[in-house]
Amino acid sequence: MLESQEIYRFCAQKRISILNSNFITRPSPTDVSPFSVLASQALWESHGHSAPYEDMAQYITNKLSEANLLAELLDGRNCFHWMHHEGRPAGYSKVILDCPNEFVAAQNVTKMERLYFLKEFHGLGLAQQLFDFNLNLAKQAHQAGIWLYVWKENHRAIRFYQKMGFEIVGDGLFKVSDTHYNPNHIMFLGMRDEHNKNCICQNPLAQVFPHK
């Protein structure tokens, strides 16, 4: 069984060529400037209209600044990857292993905190490839599943995750500013334990906290 630190070292070192024109790597601290530009633009394109302009602009300025992202990149709990398409940054992901959620019974679950792509790269199957990459990381760490937050009005993302097998297991609020919160679904994807072949895809807490 791989320990969490072994998975993080794998994240830091692994470079996977998916197609001749696509590759996934772990961004290094020296990448923080272009990485910040990518993260800011991708969030603005997907969620810029989800809150008042001033609130979203301030959130992006603070949360995705070079200084804040550098601190996140240096935090060993975070596993970032970005994907290039034909030499250009197209999207990125952030996952955290062993990050429980109150709506999921298992404790050894992965939080997919971010999976974003620039609009110009939509429809190329890149999000599927980056998602599969992170799914494999979670499987190697013997995680029981993956959970995430998704804005209720982001219908494209909801359809994507449902296609991947995620189910809505709860609701929550995402803080954009002191005066604005976005309503989010909490979605969960259970995974099969390949060692004992038992399917752990059901979420027992769905009976305790039914989605309304």
Round to whole Å and give the CA distance between 188 and 113. 12
Lowest-pLDDT range of 64-68, 120-124, 192-196: 192-196
> 53 in a domain, yes or no?
yes
For residue 9, what pLDDT is reported?
55
For residue 202, what pLDDT is reported?
38
Q: Residue range 128-151: average pLDDT?
A: 97
Q: Residue range 101-117: average pLDDT?
A: 97
Judged against a pLDDT cut of 90, whether residue 199 lies above it is answered with: no
For residue 6, what pLDDT is reported?
56
Judged against a pLDDT cut of 70, whether residue 75 lies above it is answered with: yes
Round to whole Å and give the CA distance between 174 and 51. 11
Q: Residue range 79-88: average pLDDT?
A: 95
Lowest-pLDDT range of 40-49, 68-77, 114-123, 190-199: 190-199
Round to whole Å and give the CA distance between 7 and 18. 20
Q: Structural domain of residue 146, as residue ranges?
A: 4-206
Q: For the chain, what is the mean pLDDT?
A: 86
Judged against a pLDDT cut of 70, whether residue 5 lies above it is answered with: no
For residue 145, what pLDDT is reported?
98
Q: How confident is the model at residue 201 (pLDDT cuts 50, 70, 90)?
A: very low
Judged against a pLDDT cut of 60, whether residue 62 lies above it is answered with: yes
Secondary structure tally for the chain: helices H, strands E: 6, 10
Q: Give how many domains the chain has, as a whole number.
A: 1
Q: Residue range 54-62: average pLDDT?
A: 97
Pick 201 or 138 by higher pLDDT.
138
> 78 in a domain, yes or no?
yes
Q: Tell me, what DSSP letter sits at residue 129?
A: H
Q: What proportion of the chain, given as a percentage, has pLDDT over 90?
A: 79
- Tokens 């995705």 belong to 64
For residue 192, what pLDDT is reported?
72
Judged against a pLDDT cut of 80, whether residue 11 lies above it is answered with: no
Judged against a pLDDT cut of 60, whether residue 74 lies above it is answered with: yes
CATH of the domain at 29: 3.40.630.30
For residue 194, what pLDDT is reported?
53
> 211 in a domain, yes or no?
no
> 212 in a domain, yes or no?
no
Query: pLDDT (tens digit, 9 = 90+) per residue, 157-193?
Result: 999 999 999 999 999 999 999 999 999 999 999 997 6
Distances (CA, A) of 13 to 9, 28, 78, 108, 207: 6, 10, 14, 23, 41
> 174 in a domain, yes or no?
yes
Round to whole Å and give the CA distance between 100 and 104. 7
